[in-house]
């Protein structure tokens, strides 16, 4: 079974399966995966710990077992901005 790759924007629930330090599970949004040397199957991530309302309450650098991660949602898509074009009317519009 292939292990899913961790990416920026992923929301993860960390439990004891990810590391013994998570006696109380936490939810985090991944900022980036760090390229630090580690043991096979483990990795370092920068992440925001999320509160009950989904807002960031703390920035953390975490050491986790990839096989024990639980994805809450896929990576968030980049926000899009709707731009409306149009002709300007009224005073000072070239009349």
Residue 93 counted as domain residue: no
Quote the strand ranges of 9-95, DSSP E: 11-14, 26-34, 42-50, 56-65, 70-73
Residue 1 counted as domain residue: no
Residues of the chain with pLDDT under 50: 1, 75, 77-79, 81
Give the count of beta carbons closer than 10 Å to the beta carbon of residue 69: 22
Residue-level pLDDT at 4: 81
Q: What tokens appear for 50 in the block?
A: 């999320």
Give the chain's domain count.
Answer: 1
Residue 80 counted as domain residue: no
Residue 4 counted as domain residue: no
Tracing tokens 């040397």 back to the chain, one arrives at: 37
Confidence (pTM): 0.72
What residue numbers bound the domain in which 35 lies? 11-73
Name every residue whose Cβ is closer than 8 Å to that of residue 59 and which is 6 or more positions away in sequence. Answer: 31, 46, 47, 48, 49
Tracing tokens 């024990």 back to the chain, one arrives at: 68
């Amino acid at each position: 079974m292939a292990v899913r790759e961790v990416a920026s924007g992923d929301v993860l629930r960390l439990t004891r399966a990810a590391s013994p330090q998570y006696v109380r599970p936490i939810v985090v949004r991944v900022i980036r995966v760090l390229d630090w040397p580690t043991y096979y199957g483990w990795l370092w991530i920068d992440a925001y710990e999320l509160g009950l309302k989904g807002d960031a309450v703390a920035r953390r650098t975490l050491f986790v077992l990839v096989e024990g991660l639980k994805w809450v949602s896929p990576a968030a898509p980049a926000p899009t901005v709707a731009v409306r074009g149009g002709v300007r009317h009224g005073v000072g519009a070239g009349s």
